[in-house]
Amino acid sequence: MGIDYEAIRFWDAYSVAEDIRLDIEENPEKESFEKYFMPSRAEIKAILKAPLRWTLLHQFIKDRYLERRIWGFEHHRKDMLDLVAVEYQTILEGYGINHGFPKINIDASDFNNYEENEMQELVNQLRELIPIEQIAHETFQLLFSNRKFLKKFNQLVAGYIRYLKKSEYPDILKRDGVLYRKTLPGWAKRGIFYRDKGRCIQCSRDLTGVIVTGEEVHYDHIVPLAVGGTNDPGNFQLLCRRCNLSKGVNTFTSEIYPTYWSLHLEK
């Protein structure tokens, strides 16, 4: 029970998060999304069956983006494996991971100490050590805070769900293009509750129950199930009862957040 504390370095997360945000928010064509998001049937089933701690967004960050970036870097620089090795060593240092190889110094032309096949072997071994899941989870921390991003992301996911056929996915679909509703586990509810600071994201009503009792907390699908939304934790937000009832099947989120302090109020 309670909040998990984990070592978060935010080392590579900002640049990864910004690349993904740009792709999803600023360049939201379905084709470009498909370029990164092509889950297999088994993956769809596993991820959409029930809310998982490793969310759809984690999977997207890792498989469709981070690995592509890590491998892509190598691919584009085949003739400069030494620079790839330096890049990988830098990432590993950023995460405090001891790779056990001497640090390559570009200025000192340390590259010359390696034969080409030795350099490839070094690159392979360094790549294995890159903490892709940790980088994905750190990137998730940043992107999960941004509901506008989540809305766009889930709308693109909905573009897939809407075309799934009940005959092909009988255990996850209620009818063509609509997933069964799943109950959110406690850990997911807590995460969403804390992200939204215990307030309705539309009217800012306090839902903590500390001062005002009797307010119902609604865990609302940002993109409703009826239009292809998922039960993934990244597709939820806090609403009060009144705002949820007036929302209907609309896709809505707000861009108001409780900040640490305001620049404008003299309080």
Which residues of this protein are in contact with Zn ion, per CB under 5 A? 200, 202-203, 205, 240, 243
- Residue 216 CB, shortest distance to Zn ion, in Å, is 10
Q: From the CB of 189, what's the least distance to Zn ion, in Å?
A: 17
| Tokens at 202, concatenated | 């539309």
User: What phi, psi does 206 have (nearest 5°)?
Assistant: -75, 125
Cβ 221 to Zn ion, closest distance in Å?
A: 16
Q: Token pair 């937000």 is at which residue?
A: 237
Q: Produce one character per residue of 244-266: b if its CB has 16 or more CB atoms within 10 Å, e if not.
A: beebeeebbbbeeeeeeeeeeee
Nearer to Zn ion, 49 or 205 (CB): 205
Which is closer to Zn ion, CB of 160 or CB of 219?
A: 219
Instruction: Return the structure tokens found at 44.
Output: 């769809």
Asked whether the beta carbons of 8 and 141 are under 8 A apart, the reply is yes
Burial group, residue 115, by CB count within 10 angstroms (0-12, 13-18, 19+):
exposed
Query: CB of residue 199 vs Zn ion: minimum separation in angstroms?
Result: 8
Return the number of the residue (90 or 208) whose C-beta is nearest Zn ion: 208
Which C-beta is closer to Zn ion: that of 125 or that of 254? 254
CB of 241 to Zn ion, least distance (A): 8
Identify which of residues 63 and 206 has a Cβ nearer to Zn ion in the complex: 206
Cα(230)–Cα(248) distance, integer angstroms: 16
Beta-bridge partner residues of 206: 199
Q: Which is nearer to Zn ion, 8 or 203 (CB)?
A: 203
- Classify residue 183 by burial, with Cβ atoms within 10 Å: 0-12, 13-18, 19+: exposed
Minimum Å gap between C-beta 240 and Zn ion is: 3
